[in-house]
A and B are shown apart, each in its own frame.
Chain A
Amino acid sequence: MSNAVTTPRCTPRQPLRPTQEPQTSPPTSKMQADKANPSITNNAIVMNNLSSWYGNHQALNSISLNVQENKVTAFIGPSGCGKSTLLRWINRMNDTIQTARATGNLHLRNLDLLASSTDLVDLRRRVGIVFQKPNPFPKSIFENVAFGPRLHMKLKRSELMDIVEWSLRKAAVWDEVKDRLHAPALGLSGGQQQRLCIARTIAVGPEVLLMDEPCSALDPGSTLAIEELMNELRHQYTIVIVTHNMQQASRCSDETAFFFEGQLVEMNDTQSIFTNPTSKRTEDYISGRFG
């Protein structure tokens, strides 16, 4: 709990009081949003010549790309192309793999993400990750969401309750679980579990949300709920999503990067990539001819 003293830094950027919570607006077209604010092109994550290996197997080969702030960036590509690896470098989850190593530059704003001196605890608070398979802890729903805030903040019970409610509302699962906050999280459906995991991730107040195929284990209804949720969240968070689902990438993302065999083939705004790809391989992939 080294971060207990730095409470202000950890406060979610939204007001905590549920009464002040802005009501969910109908999902607006992202293109309109972009045209309304064409000047927002701040780069949250910058990578230059990022290469990565698992043992002797090279998973990423000189990736250079920028992830823009408060936008949804989709990583697409066939299995084994390195998109998940890249995602897992952004919050250094690859450190759990013994043989993983990386060279090049990877920065979150001014923070060098690949430096061995990087404070991983604070980094992972700032860069949250949602995994492919819903993985709630075998605890109650409340305990699941309260897990992160308890790690990083010193809170009174009521403050903790506020954060839990805010996160669950934000993740669009509050109405379904508000009457059974102390029921086991594993009793929820797959889609609810995944939204609970998103609530758990945003409860620590991250700046960046990494999503590693968050809908691939879910039914279409839950997928839709999570896509709407991303549309909501993109105003406050920089979101990077890895997906195999081309429609999902085109529906939810502002920017799309196509990877193939460890290399970045093409990156552009989503509409251009899906309507007018410059690379033949991109075109083949998004039209379903391979991958």
Chain B
Amino acid sequence: MSAPKNTSKKATDSEPVRNTEPRSQNLSEAAKQSQTPFDKDKILTTDTRIAKDLWFRRICVATASASVLILAFLLVSILTTGIPSLSWTLLTSSPEPDPVNAGLWPALMGTLWVCSLCALITLPLGIGTAILIEEFKPRNVIGRKIFHLIQLNITNLAGVPSVVYGILGLTAFVSMFSLFENNDGNMGPRVEIGAIHYDQFSNLASDPFLDTGNTDVRERFFLFPVASRNAAPVVPETGMLAYENRESGLVQVPIIAIDPFSQQPSNDSDILSRTIDQTSAPGRISKKNWYYFRIPFGRGVIAGALTLMLVILPVIIISTQEALRAVPGTLRAAALGLGSTPWQVVWNVTLPSAVPGIMTGSILAISRSIGETAPILIIAGIVYIRSAPQHLMDDYTVMPLQIYNWISRPQEEFHHIAAGGILVLLAILLTFNAVAVFIRHRMQSKLN
């Protein structure tokens, strides 16, 4: 019973010995019993194994460095084009037609609004669902089947392309399956809270009755409150009160009726640039409060947030499930054995231990939602947004969309500020990921 020798040389040396001694045929039973199943010749030479190991390591290094190199190349090219265009203007101004003054403030704020709202909706939903699936498993067969089906669905939904969610969001949240269409064919929402509607008139005049002391000809805007979006138009007459748009806000002024034909402005674009809303012409406009709410949601912030929720909900559920599963069962047993209710087990033991994992998964999912373009492209469309969102139903744009918009323009200057925008987006994403790493590290060191 000699110990198997471990080197290749010995294996080749013993070759002739085997040939002279045919085994296992003319050996007695006792000899067979004493024989070990280890044949020296069957032992592989170690140098081929070591060589394989070396080559495998080289391949790993090569693939890893390839991805790092590509990333480095991308970063360098973005940095060289983007850094010169990084400026305070880029951060704080609206996307003007002139690339020198253009910025992504509305897109930045749109991203913040949509993604924070998305996180606010998604985190409770996703974590709650994961807790239900992991910690409150039903005991009966039917319940288990249903839970299995839910689990299967969630796993599948995680792999659905986000553009599909965009189409779903368009149907479900933007138009709400057309369930709330007005019968008169007007495009306005069925339910509306927090909006005041006006009829807006413009007047090129120096009117001694309305504006004493200032005699130069200038354009004036008057707003007449109306009952609803679809009310009949107001016809101004002498003696009515209107609101005039001054820089600071709305000021009440008395009206002297003038011949409507004479108040037609000569230059439409001029009016556009100085109208109260800046994007609306004379006509029916509305001023919305911060709590403005409408059904259907339309192409507002809330529809965007809900659509992004569809995209990241499966990711958050699955990562939370993983985090909950990683909590040792002995801790649950200890808490149960002390007389905790299942909810007390979850709240006092399982969740605190799972928080680092949940936070990491959630922040990664949210940073994914920051970078999502396709669903937003479908539900928000490329619209020209000059201001940050003011309420949940406001129009918005997000940074990836703004970058896409700039890149698709022919002028070289826009490509440069697009590179600057990419840098800002990257900075936000990296900050989020750094926060995730920090939280996980902090929580884990606190737990142990």
Contacts and interface: CB of A to CB of B under 8 A. Distances in A.
A and B pair up: yes
B328 A147 contact: no
Contacts of B374: none
A138 B332 CA distance: 12
Interface in B346-360: 348-349, 352-353
Contacts of B447: 138
B448 interface: yes
Contacts of A121: 339-341
Nearest to A200: B338
B335 A137 contact: yes
Nearest to A2: B341
B72 interface: no
Contact of B338 (A128, A133, A184): A128
A124 B337 CA distance: 6
B339 A184 contact: no
B336 A137 contact: no
Contacts of B344: 151
A98 B137 CA distance: 9
Contacts, number: 64
A131 B144 CA distance: 29
B334 interface: yes
Contact of B336 (A96, A152, A201): A96
A124 B352 CA distance: 22
A148 B339 contact: yes
Determine the main DSSP class of A at the interface with B.
helix
Contacts of A124: 336-339
B160 interface: no
B66 interface: no
Contact of B334 (A91, A98, A123, A197): A197
A253 B348 CA distance: 35
A152 B332 CA distance: 17
A204 interface: yes
Contacts of A216: none
Nearest to A203: B338
Contacts of B137: 98
Given A98-B139, A147-B348, A186-B448, A137 B339 contact: no
A91 B333 CA distance: 11
Interface-central residue, B333, B334, B447, by most chain A CB under 10 Å: B334
Given A133-B330, A186-B448, A122 B139 contact: no
Contact of B337 (A122, A128, A138, A152): A128
B337 A93 contact: yes
Contact of A131 (B139, B334, B352, B448): B334
A133 B334 CA distance: 11
Contacts of A151: 338-340, 344
A93 B330 CA distance: 12
Interface residues of A, number: 28
Interface in B284-330: 328, 330
Nearest to B448: A186
A246 B407 CA distance: 79
B426 interface: no
Given A147-B348, A151-B344, A137 B337 contact: no
A135 interface: yes
Interface-central residue, B340, B344, B353, by most chain A CB under 10 Å: B340
Contacts of B337: 91, 93, 124, 128-129, 131, 201
Given A96-B333, A186-B448, A197-B334, A125 B353 contact: no
Interface string A181-203: 00010100000000001001100
Contacts of B333: 93, 96, 131, 135
Contacts of A137: 331, 334-335, 349
B334 A152 contact: no
Interface-central residue, B137, B338, B348, by most chain A CB under 10 Å: B338
A148 B344 CA distance: 11
A204 B349 contact: no
Contact of B330 (A131, A184, A200): A131
Given A128-B338, A129-B337, A148-B338, A135 B330 contact: yes
A89 B330 CA distance: 17
Contacts of A135: 328, 330-331, 333-334
A122 B328 contact: no
Interface string B206-228: 00000000000000000000000
B364 to A, nearest CB: 23
B348 to A, nearest CB: 7
Contacts of A120: 339
Interface string A127-160: 0110101011110000000011001100000000
Contact of A152 (B139, B339, B348, B352): B339
A135 B330 CA distance: 6
Interface in A100-124: 120-124
A138 B339 contact: no
Nearest to A143: B348
A91 B340 CA distance: 13
B132 to A, nearest CB: 16
Contacts of A201: 337-338
Contacts of B330: 131, 133, 135
A98 B144 CA distance: 10
Interface-central residue, A93, A98, A124, A138, by most chain B CB under 10 Å: A138
Contacts of B353: 138
A184 B448 contact: yes
A135 to B, nearest CB: 4
Contacts of B335: 137, 147
Nearest to A91: B337
A184 B348 CA distance: 16
Contacts of A96: 332-333, 336
A96 B335 CA distance: 12
Contacts of B139: 98
A122 B339 contact: yes
Interface of B: 137, 139, 144, 328, 330-341, 344, 348-349, 352-353, 447-448
Interface of A: 91, 93, 96, 98, 120-125, 128-129, 131, 133, 135-138, 147-148, 151-152, 184, 186, 197, 200-201, 204
The list of the 7 closest CB pairs from A to B, nearest first, reads: A135-B330, A125-B339, A124-B339, A129-B337, A148-B338, A138-B447, A135-B334
23 contacts: A96-B336, A98-B139, A98-B144, A121-B339, A122-B339, A124-B337, A124-B339, A131-B330, A131-B333, A131-B337, A133-B330, A135-B331, A137-B331, A138-B331, A138-B352, A138-B447, A138-B448, A148-B338, A151-B338, A151-B339, A151-B344, A152-B339, A200-B334
